[in-house]
């Protein structure tokens, strides 16, 4: 399973990368705004900064919703750095654009996915990654993890190469469940990844080991 961190915060990206477990980064306009990154050139420069921190795929999202606009923005983003993945919304014009990018060797991440039907369309268009939003599905009263399992099964049935990138991760347990279901990637806040370190028996065990060492060595 690949670990992506879902942030535009450079310090968090460096921290995750320094752990040696980071495979990629996902961003969106909301995350950019949260970090105070405004203005087209500043946003583009920030993507390059992220790419220079770690050697892995970095999803950069288009704003346009029409084919020509998505195509134009996507080409600009793809030319920024070899690790840029163009993030495209799950709409008709978006699927059309994903096909164009796929045919031209440009990686894509189909985002805002909430159903298995949408997942099939994205895979047939050649999306590199598919981002189903677990937490947001849960918010509607449906089961986001069940959706992940359904998509993984369908992709395996037909040999689709699109990787299932579980998004809208709310906690560390979501990561474990996605691993059990066979998701290829999870993208989540750094806090959810760091939460995997925590277990009371690890803490108590380490405390006991250190205490015993201190006693034995005066």
Residue 39 near residue 63, CB atoms below 8 Å: no
pLDDT of 85-140, one tens digit each? 999 999 999 999 999 999 999 999 999 999 999 999 999 999 999 999 999 999 99
Q: Which residues, 6 or more positions from 5, have their beta carbon under 8 angstroms from its beta carbon?
A: 12, 13, 16, 22, 24, 25, 26, 187, 188, 189, 190, 193
Known catalytic membership, residue 71: no
Whether the pLDDT of residue 142 is over 90: the answer is yes
* Cβ(1)–Cβ(184) below 8 Å: yes
Which whole number is the average pLDDT over 170-180? 96
Spatial CA neighbour of 168 closest among 141, 195, 189: 189
Residue 46, CA atoms < 13 Å, CB-side half-sphere: 26
Query: What does pTM read for this prediction?
Result: 0.93
Q: pLDDT tens digits for 30-50?
A: 999 999 999 999 999 999 999
- CA 146 to CA 180: how far, in whole Å? 12
As a CATH number, domain 2-216 is: 3.20.20.70
The reported pLDDT for the residue numbered 189 is 95
Would you state the structure tokens that stand for residue 31, as one six-digit string?
A: 């995350």
Determine the pLDDT at residue 211: 87
Distances (CA, A) of 6 to 26, 149, 187: 5, 21, 5
**Distance separating alpha carbons of residues 67 and 74, to the nearest angstrom:** 10
Rounded to the nearest integer, the mean pLDDT of the chain is 96
**Pick the catalytic residue: 71, 87, 107, 177?**
87
């Amino acid at each position: 399973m690949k670990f992506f961190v879902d942030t535009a915060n450079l310090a968090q990206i460096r921290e995750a990368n320094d752990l040696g477990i980071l495979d990629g980064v996902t961003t969106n306009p909301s995350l950019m705004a949260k970090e105070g990154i405004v203005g087209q050139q500043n946003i583009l420069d920030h993507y390059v900064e992220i790419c220079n921190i770690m050697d892995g795929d970095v999803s950069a999202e288009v704003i346009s919703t029409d084919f020509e606009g998505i195509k134009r923005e996507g080409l600009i983003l793809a030319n920024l750095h070899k690790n840029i993945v163009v993030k495209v919304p799950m709409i008709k014009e978006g699927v059309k654009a994903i096909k164009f990018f796929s045919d031209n060797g440009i990686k894509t991440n189909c985002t805002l996915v909430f159903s298995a039907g949408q997942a099939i369309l994205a895979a047939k268009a050649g999306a590199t990654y598919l981002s189903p939003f677990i937490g947001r599905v849960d918010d509607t009263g449906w089961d986001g993890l069940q959706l992940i399992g359904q998509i993984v099964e369908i992709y395996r049935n037909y040999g689709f190469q699109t990787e299932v990138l579980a998004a809208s991760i709310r906690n560390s347990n979501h990561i474990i469940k996605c691993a059990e279901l066979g998701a290829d990637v999870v993208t989540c806040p750094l806090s959810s990844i760091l939460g995997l370190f925590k277990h009371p028996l690890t803490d108590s065990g380490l405390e006991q080991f250190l205490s015993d060492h201190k006693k034995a060595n005066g």
